[in-house]
């Protein structure tokens, strides 16, 4: 008999279907055009949606494999089993902080679930350094040319909430 059962990191989250795209943060979902960075507002990296976070936890937006985790912890990429790639970029120009204020809970190569904690941020510290906490979700790779996320209307969201129809 085992007295202590090791908890898996995904036991506490509700499993989302593989086609679900979830809010990476709790806060306000905003259109790309409202993001104060032309790289993201013009969607030159791919289909983009923004978020104004109201807490310090960033979660994984889709079920898949962590295919990129920037050493600074400010951004990470997840690829679904279908081959669609999603990038979560926390804050604007926050790469300049060189990892200060970012605490990743995932690593490259991990299989992760939508809603699983990915990064904890010290939002107060980041804002005090003069950086925006606007967080972007970008479709960076598409398994098929016409793949597009049909997002719900912008407005308040909770991390892990499904945001696609």
Catalytic residue among 89, 102, 110, 137: 89
Residues 89 and 49: their CA atoms lie apart, in Å, by: 11
The question of whether 103 is a catalytic residue gets the answer no
Q: Are 95 and 58 in contact (CB under 8 A)?
A: no
Q: How far apart are CA 128 and CA 143, in angstroms?
A: 40
Two tokens, residue 7: 């908890």
Cα 137 from Cα 24, distance rounded (Å): 8
**Structure-token pair, residue 62:** 């889709």
Q: Where does the chain show beta strands of DSSP type E? A: 27-31, 48-53, 57-59, 64-69, 75-79, 85-90, 102-104, 111-112, 117-121, 135-141, 155-157
Q: Among 115, 113, 95, 117, which residue's Cα sits nearest to residue 104?
A: 117
Residues catalogued as catalytic: 89
């Amino acid at each position: 008999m085992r007295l202590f059962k090791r908890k898996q990191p995904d036991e506490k989250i509700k499993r989302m279907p593989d086609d679900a795209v979830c809010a990476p943060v709790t806060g306000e979902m905003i259109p790309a055009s409202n993001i104060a960075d032309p790289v993201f507002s013009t969607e030159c990296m791919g289909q983009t949606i923004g978020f104004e976070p109201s807490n310090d936890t960033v979660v994984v937006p889709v079920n898949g494999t962590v295919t990129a985790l920037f050493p600074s912890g400010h951004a990470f990429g997840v690829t679904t089993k279908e081959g669609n790639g999603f990038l979560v970029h926390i804050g604007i120009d926050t790469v300049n902080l060189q990892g200060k204020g970012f605490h990743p809970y995932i690593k490259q190569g991990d299989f992760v679930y939508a809603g699983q904690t990915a990064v904890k941020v010290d939002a107060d510290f980041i804002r005090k350094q003069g950086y925006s906490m606007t967080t972007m979700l970008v479709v960076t790779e598409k398994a098929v040319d016409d793949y597009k996320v049909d997002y719900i209307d912008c407005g308040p969201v909770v991390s892990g909430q499904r945001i696609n129809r």
